[in-house]
């Protein structure tokens, strides 16, 4: 039997009868997650007047995925057809990494070209409408590393009266990297440095990191597809890392940006209570 077996959990397969060229369009809002890779399969078993469709030769299955940025991703689909089965030919596509690059509304059309009872036929058999959601927008806050409550803030204020620092500071870090075409790359804490070239793992003396307030890249062809942040007591820790994916057909040299929010450590004598940015 040509084709392949569907081996992913998010498989959406329906029966479609092509009598009179009927196309099935689903207005149910299918929900995908930005940053996923090959996480969804959409397919159809094909029938004609209730009878399973079996084909002569090799059909062509193509998916046209219209992204929220109004660009279309071309997907090469596959098929499975067993002439001895009472089930219709299965056609479908797996969504590629490029399909999950942007949050917003999407549309997927599955088109099949095959030789059937009426000769060569090209039919759009299924259209799916849905939404790609962003599961972790904004900054990243690690459980256990939260901004202190009122009582703790009062204690920090009292401790800071004799000094000349800030209660909290944001420190900016950058990391230069190169990622090959249609590939991904992991950027680790040790790759990030501040404006003076000091590594992020040095932290900020007298302060404790509590949150990541910015995690981004500067190239539109590069997307963040994963991030892990586990802060320590005195520095952002060696387990801060982000994974980026290059959606273009050529190598990209880019800059990643990471802003860390620090708060005055208990027992530090840093002074006046105000916000600031450490460059």
Domain boundary among 100, 133, 166: 133
For the cut 50, the answer to whether the pLDDT of residue 207 exceeds it is: yes
Q: Region 169-185: what's the mean pLDDT?
A: 86
180 in any annotated domain: yes
266 in any annotated domain: yes
**Domains identified in the chain, total number:** 2
Question: Which residue from 94, 138, 253 is spatially nearest to 185, judged by alpha carbons?
Answer: 253
Full-model pTM: 0.49
pLDDT band at 75 (very low <50, low <70, confident <90, very high): very high
Q: Are residues 79 and 186 in the same domain?
A: no
For the cut 90, the answer to whether the pLDDT of residue 62 exceeds it is: yes
193 in any annotated domain: yes
Q: Are residues 156 and 129 in the same domain?
A: no
**97 — phi, psi (to 5°)?**
-55, -35
Q: Which two tokens stand for residue 211?
A: 């949150």
Partner residues linked to 128 by β-bridges:
26, 108
pLDDT at 272: 36
142 in any annotated domain: no
Q: Are residues 97 and 209 in the same domain?
A: no
Which CATH number belongs to the domain containing residue 86 in this structure? 2.60.40.10
Q: CA 128, 132, 138 angle in degrees (round to 5)?
A: 175
Q: Are residues 124 and 55 in the same domain?
A: yes
Residue 226 sits in which domain range?
150-278
Q: Are residues 160 and 128 in the same domain?
A: no
1 in any annotated domain: no
pLDDT at 150: 58
Is 254 strand, coil or helix? Answer: strand
For the cut 80, the answer to whether the pLDDT of residue 41 exceeds it is: yes
pLDDT band at 77 (very low <50, low <70, confident <90, very high): very high
The per-type count for the chain, helices as H runs and strands as E runs, is: 1, 17
Q: Are residues 129 and 163 in the same domain?
A: no
Q: Are residues 160 and 93 in the same domain?
A: no
pLDDT at 228: 65
Q: Between the CA of residue 133 and those of 106, 128, 173, what are the distances in Å?
A: 11, 16, 28
Say how far apart CA 118 and CA 55 lie, in whole Å.
11
Q: Region 225-233: what's the mean pLDDT?
A: 60
Say how far apart CA 93 and CA 109 lie, in whole Å.
10
Express each pLDDT in 236-252 by its tens digit.
544 567 788 887 778 88
Which CATH number belongs to the domain containing residue 207 in this structure? 2.60.120
Say how far apart CA 212 and CA 140 lie, in whole Å.
5
Say how far apart CA 105 and CA 102 lie, in whole Å.
9
Q: Are residues 127 and 72 in the same domain?
A: yes
6 in any annotated domain: no
220 in any annotated domain: yes
Q: Which two tokens stand for residue 78?
A: 């596959």
For the cut 60, the answer to whether the pLDDT of residue 267 exceeds it is: no
pLDDT at 98: 92
Express each pLDDT in 113-123 by its tens digit.
877 667 777 88
User: CB neighbours (10 Å) of residue 79?
Assistant: 21
Is 93 strand, coil or helix? Answer: strand
Q: CA 124, 129, 135 angle in degrees (round to 5)?
A: 140
Q: CA 72, 70, 121 angle in degrees (round to 5)?
A: 35
For the cut 50, the answer to whether the pLDDT of residue 5 exceeds it is: no
Q: Per mean pLDDT, which range of 95-109, 139-153, 165-179, 213-227 is the poorest?
A: 139-153
Q: Region 95-100: what's the mean pLDDT?
A: 92
């Amino acid at each position: 039997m040509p084709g392949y077996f569907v081996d992913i959990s998010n498989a959406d397969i329906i029966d479609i009868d092509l009598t009179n060229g009927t196309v099935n369009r689903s207005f149910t809002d299918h929900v995908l997650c930005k940053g996923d890779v090959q996480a969804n399969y959409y397919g159809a078993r094909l029938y004609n007047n209730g009878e399973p469709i079996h084909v002569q030769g090799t059909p062509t299955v193509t998916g046209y995925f219209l992204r929220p940025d109004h660009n279309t991703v071309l997907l090469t689909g596959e098929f499975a057809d067993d002439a001895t089965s009472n089930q219709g030919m299965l056609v479908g596509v797996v969504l590629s990494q490029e399909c999950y690059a942007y949050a917003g509304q999407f549309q997927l059309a599955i088109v099949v070209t095959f030789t059937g009872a009426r000769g060569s036929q090209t039919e759009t058999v299924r259209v799916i409408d849905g939404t790609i959601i962003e599961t972790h927008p904004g900054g990243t806050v690690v459980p256990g590393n939260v901004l202190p409550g009122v009582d703790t803030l009062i204690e920090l204020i009292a401790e800071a009266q004799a000094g000349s620092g800030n209660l909290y500071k944001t420190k900016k870090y950058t990391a230069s990297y190169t990622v090959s075409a249609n590939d991904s790359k992991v950027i680790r804490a040790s790759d990030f440095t501040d404006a003076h070239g000091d590594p992020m793992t040095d932290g900020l003396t007298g302060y404790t990191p509590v949150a990541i307030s910015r995690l981004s890249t500067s190239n539109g062809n590069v997307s963040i597809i994963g991030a892990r942040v586990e802060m320590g007591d005195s520095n952002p820790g060696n387990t801060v890392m982000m994974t980026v994916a290059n959606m273009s057909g050529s190598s990209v040299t880019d800059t990643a940006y990471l802003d860390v929010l620090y708060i005055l450590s208990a027992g530090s004598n840093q002074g006046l209570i105000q916000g600031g940015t450490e460059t």
